[in-house]
Amino acid sequence: MDTGVICGTRVSHDRASVDQIEAAAGDDERTVIEALLDDDAVSEAFAIQTCNRAEAYVVADSVAAGRRVLGSLHADVDDDVVVEMGHEESLRHLMRVAAGLESLVLGEDQIIGQFKRAIEVARGVGALGPTLETGLTKAVHVGERARTETEINEGAISIGSAAARLAETEIDLDGATALVIGAGEMGKLAAEALVDAGVTELVVANRTVPHAEHLASTVETVARAISLDEINGVLDAAAVVVTATNHPDYLLDPSDVDDAGETLVIDLAQPRDVDPEASAVEQVVVHDIDALESVTAETKAARAEAARDVEAMIDAEFERLIDSYKRRQADEAISTMYEAAEQIKSREIETAVSRLEAQGDLSEEQRETIESMADALVGQLLAAPTKSLREAAVEDDWSTIQTAMALFDPEFGDASRATARSSAAERDPGGETTEAERNEADVEASEGNRSEAGEEHVPPYVLESVSDD
């Protein structure tokens, strides 16, 4: 059975700066996922990294193990900006991310594409199993519903367009020249928004020049493409520079903008494209993504009603998700029950047939009659327990499901009982474990998963082996 518990951590714009998010992020999502899977306690892993978040999730064999593994990701980050998430909080948060409720620009559309790409990365390295796959699929479903059934993305505001709005509040863009560094999705959105704001000349710089040429050909103004090596040659003509690449190193430092004159630079990249020291250059103003807060506050207020609709949608979808986990748990218990019954049935049929054959010839029709009768007995005997197990899952009655597993799968719970009895022996290493202690250990093993040690609660549908040891 699937016995893992989900643990998650996030460092995001709601409490962390750009520098802190950058410190929390790995080289890329694949690298983070592979590092998490290297730990034997982790069976599944997922990570999503964008310009304003670095998040990671694992399915581990215990809460303590999950937190330990995730904690290694944030050694260079202040504890007060790291948010730890338990099983259900992780599932709900993933829905909120996909729906755009956790974005810097409330309801922005970019995140759903980024979310899907992160899922494909995780699938590509074999990091998703039944627990995370189910939760992530539901999150994508919620994100898509939010955008088709509510007005959470009304006006298609994005981080790129928010950057253009910020630029409008500080300089006159009418007739200006703009330089956009990066021809990806965010660069495209920034370029289009700058043109809409009145820019009459656009220069697009990109590592791959054909991509820059394609973007330049799509905007409705004079535009041209250059390589990253040619950036310095156009800085003096640009009134505004927007950077949005995934380049690992600074593309602009103080020496690059020293002779640029009056220039507004908005760095949307993660990690940063612009050395913060560049802001010390006279006549050069450098903003990072944190500066967009003032612009995005207006969008948040305008979309407040839609956000409430999405919150209600998430509540309903979350309940459906939890019910699906419970049904799967009940189905696994039922499957184990039927497998045990089938083994007994097959053994007893063979015994009966052997005895009947010893008494005389047994026709094929007679053998089929015996097998049919055995099938009917199994079906009738297990009908009521099957119904009870499904009801138990819905009602969070873990003890009933656990009892069924112990009855039909003798190996279920043996490890937990052994661990509990070992603990009892450790309390009195000089003596033998008494019958009362053994009984107490069995009770501890049976009930240990109903709540986690400390404050962390593991839901009843998360199975026995996820105890917080």
What values do phi and psi take at 113, rounded to 5?
-70, -40
Residue 51 annotated in active site:
yes
CA–CA–CA angle 150, 151, 154 (5° rounding): 155
CA distances from 94 to 46, 142, 235 (A): 11, 10, 40
Q: Residue 404: name the closest of 421, 381, 388 by CA.
A: 388
- Tokens representing 308 are 């409430």
What does the DSSP assignment read for 355-369?
Answer: HHHHHS---HHHHHH
What does the DSSP assignment read for 255-316?
Answer: HHHTT--SEEEEE--SS-SB-GGGGGSTTEEEEEGGGGHHHHHHHHHHTHHHHHHHHHHHHH
Catalytic residue among 11, 21, 51, 104: 51
Amino acid at 360: G
Amino acid at 72: S
Report which secondary-structure segment, H or E, holds 56.
Answer: strand 53-60
Q: Around Cβ 28, how many Cβ atoms within 10 Å?
A: 13
What does the DSSP assignment read for 319-346?
Answer: HHHHHHHHHHHHHHHHHHHHHHHHHHHH
CA atoms within 13 A on the CB side of 281: 22
CA distances from 232 to 94, 211, 256, 448 (A): 41, 20, 6, 64
Q: Which residue has the tokens 């138990």?
A: 392
Q: Which residue has the tokens 């005389």?
A: 360
C-alpha 39, offset from chain centre: 18
Please state, in angstroms and rounded to a whole number, the distance separating the CA atoms of residues 137 and 324: 12
What values do phi and psi take at 100, rounded to 5?
90, 5
- Could you tell me if 177 and 207 are in contact, meaning their C-beta atoms sit under 8 angstroms apart? no
- Could you tell me if 240 and 178 are in contact, meaning their C-beta atoms sit under 8 angstroms apart? yes
Q: Is the peptide bond before 271 cis (omega within 30 degrees of 0)?
A: yes
Q: Catalytic positions, please?
A: 51
